Amino acid sequence: MVGRRLATAIPGVIGVIVVTFLLNRALPGDPAAYFAGPAATPQAIEEIRTRLGLNRSLPEQFVLYIRDLARGDLGHSLTTGQPVAADLRARLPASLELAFCGLLLALAIALPLGVLAATRPGSGVDHVTRLLATMGNSLPVFFTGLVLVYVLYYLLGWAPPPLGRLEVFRETPPAITGSYLIDSLLARDPGLFLAVAKQLILPTMTLGLAALAPITRMTRAAMLGVLASDYVRTARANGLAPRTVLYVYALRNAMLPVVTTLGLVLSFLLGVSVVVEKIYAWPGIGAYALDSVIASDYAPVQGFVLTMAVVYVLLNLLIDLLYGVIDPRVQIES
């Protein structure tokens, strides 16, 4: 089943490879001239272009890229001078840690709010919940991030400076998983864990507020539909406790569309982390890709998009598997 699900995603990944390759070549600017410097002669620029393979035709460049990709070689970054695969491996844990923390924060707030609003439709709580969801959809992530930095760090001094995953003079935990939170726990260093958690406060709040709106709206809509169903009315008529009806019968059945939304939201968070990582100097793959776009560095951008496509496929597979855990009656069809 897992193999069939992955096989159906192969055409999509191939399409991503082709489109990304063509779009990168359509970016304005000449990477050879950028890295040669403003004082470079035309001959020096042409030598760099030849060394990068940019003097070849597009079909030739594409064939060479596919050949390297089949070997697991994503190319070298002209910005860092390192293999793109190594750069992505070093930065991906930071992005995943931030995205999952934002998603967990959104879940901790959105699920109770959605359930509460659905059980009290038309009440003040319901109106406030819908207002928060509308605001979450309306406010851009960069605006929310800058406001949080200005208020919580600059004005109130409650949050640490937005300077990355750790303070300047802090030593990083031993590299085990790449997640500083997990690695600091495995190292049994509570002081380091608290330092890492403090640095996560502002970016997690920024991503959590962005993810709050769709999860809250979907939870509320799904709960309203389930609470109006026949089997819930039958459970209430049979004298089951309201808490049992709400959490055992209603919430569990309402979680299927919510889980679908979670996969989309997590993919959205990984994408929007490009902006959040630049605001908070977070060394993730989003900031890495943005710097590469500015420098017209093709290989890191292609590697970033390909990595995101693979993550998206794996998230969809995980969601399909979670369907069977939540409701065993659900059968995954290939």
- Domains in the chain: boundaries: 2-70, 85-157+201-326
Q: Are 165 and 178 in contact (CB under 8 A)?
A: no
- Sign of the Cα pseudo-torsion (58, 63, 66, 68, in order): negative
User: Which residues of the chain are under the pLDDT cut of 70?
Assistant: 1-6, 9, 24, 26-30, 34-37, 323-324, 326-334
What is residue 334's predicted lDDT score, i.e. its pLDDT? Answer: 43
What is residue 17's predicted lDDT score, i.e. its pLDDT? Answer: 81
Nearest to 181 by CA among 195, 162, 201, 163: 195
Q: Are 98 and 273 in contact (CB under 8 A)?
A: yes
Question: How crowded is residue 220: how many other Cβ atoms within 10 Å of its Cβ?
Answer: 24
- Paired tokens of 289: 């890709």
- Paired tokens of 34: 């950028």
* pTM score of the predicted model: 0.80
CATH of region 85-157+201-326, choose from 1.20.1250.20, 3.40.640.10, 1.10.3720.10, 1.10.10.60: 1.10.3720.10
For residue 250, which amino acid is it? A
Nearest to 110 by CA among 231, 220, 229: 220
What is residue 271's predicted lDDT score, i.e. its pLDDT? Answer: 81
What is residue 297's predicted lDDT score, i.e. its pLDDT? Answer: 79
Collapsing DSSP states into helix, strand and coil, what is residue 315? helix
Nearest to 116 by CA among 205, 216, 214: 216
Dihedral angle of Cα 34, 37, 42, 48, to the nearest 10 degrees? -60
What is residue 28's predicted lDDT score, i.e. its pLDDT? Answer: 66
Compute φ and ψ for 240, nearest 5 degrees. -65, 150
What is residue 151's predicted lDDT score, i.e. its pLDDT? Answer: 92
